[in-house]
Amino acid sequence: MTKSEVVTRLQEGNARFVADKLDGNLQDAGRREVLTAGQQPFAIVLSCADSRVVPELAFDTGLGEIFTVRVAGNVANSSTIASIEYAVAHCGSEVIVVMGHQSCGAVTAAVAGGDNGYNINHLLSHITPAISACEAGTEINDIVKKNATMVRDELVSRSAIIGDAVKSGKVEVHAAYYNLDSGKVDFL
């Protein structure tokens, strides 16, 4: 698939999800057997860990189709960047989607501030730049979108592997927003 065909495939799968018409393909024993030889996921998705946001369902994908990296707030940290680098360098994935979502708890917590302990404080610090880039009082869901677009750009600027792949035209990176209520993914 070309990169634009991959994006179309994701959008069509999402339309099936929204319509409650998942095809559920490529999730059986035959597919598992094929995949023992290796993986060639057509896309990489960086999403939040939120239980309500499940990329494989939202895009109606089967086993081995998308390489999903999940962390609260879908932030670009060393581990998420490294995971994406692996898929770009070794799995041949050419489309990356950074997907924020409606009412993200991580973004809400980052906006609220305060001391949440070392680990959560560290995680939320990755969202601070998006908050700073928005005017005071900006709605949470708009900060979520800003965070997704800034993380999209960070993947390119903070990773030589991803950055070079984007510059050479091999890989493209998109930001997206998942609506909790409808299940629709808006590409930003």
Only one of the segments 49-57, 111-119, 147-155, 161-169 lies at the binding site for Zn ion (rule: CB under 5 A); that segment is 49-57
Distances (CA, A) of 188 to 2, 30, 88, 149, 177: 20, 36, 22, 8, 7
Residue 48 as a binder of Zn ion (CB under 5 A): the answer is yes
Does 104 sit near Zn ion (CB under 5 A)?
A: yes
DSSP secondary structure letter of residue 73: G
50 binds Zn ion (CB under 5 A): yes
- Residues 47, 68: Cα–Cα separation, whole Å: 7
CB of 90 to Zn ion, least distance (A): 28
Exposed e or buried b for every residue in 49-83, given b needs 16+ CB within 10 A? Answer: ebeebebbebbbbbbbbbbbbbbbbbbbbeebbeb
Q: Which is nearer to Zn ion, 104 or 148 (CB)?
A: 104
CB of 64 to Zn ion, least distance (A): 25
Choices 18-26, 39-47, 83-91, 104-112; region in contact with Zn ion by CB under 5 A = 104-112
In the complex, the residues that contact Zn ion under the rule CB under 5 A are 48, 50, 104, 106
